[in-house]
């Protein structure tokens, strides 16, 4: 509740890693993906399918992979989305 109020008051975007926290404020999703358990984590196909589901329900979602395998994970996610 405190995060939501602060974001609303200051017109901020609540950025989260959706595998560790739930977003509580914003018109769109902004996810930073650091890796489950650390930066050396490679996301599984099941993880990416879960991420696709987490992106649903809003008009727009930004997903930034910020792990060792960020390029490969992002390409695989893009393929999963059919883009």
Q: What is the pLDDT along the chain (83 residues), one digit of tens a residue?
A: 899 999 999 999 999 999 999 988 888 999 999 999 999 999 999 999 999 999 987 789 999 999 999 999 999 999 999 87
Number of domains in the chain: 1
Give the phi and the psi of residue 32 in degrees, each rounded to 5: -110, 120
Spatial separation of the C-alpha atoms in residues 60 and 29, rounded to whole Å: 6
Give the phi and the psi of residue 58 in degrees, each rounded to 5: -130, 155
Phi-psi region of 57 (alpha: psi -120 to 50; beta: other; left: phi over 0): left
Q: In terms of residue numbers, what domain contains 10?
A: 2-81
Please give the pLDDT value at position 57.
73
Nearest to 16 by CA among 55, 74, 71: 55
Please give the pLDDT value at position 19.
96
Reduced to 3 states, what is the DSSP secondary structure of residue 77? Answer: helix
């Amino acid at each position: 509740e405190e995060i939501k109020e602060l974001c609303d008051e200051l017109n901020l975007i609540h950025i989260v890693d959706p595998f560790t926290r739930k977003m509580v404020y914003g018109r769109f999703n902004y996810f930073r993906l650091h890796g489950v358990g650390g930066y050396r984590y490679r996301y599984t196909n099941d993880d990416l399918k879960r991420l696709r589901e987490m992106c649903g329900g809003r008009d727009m979602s930004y997903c930034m992979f910020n792990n060792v395998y960020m390029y490969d994970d992002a390409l695989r996610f893009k393929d999963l989305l059919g883009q």
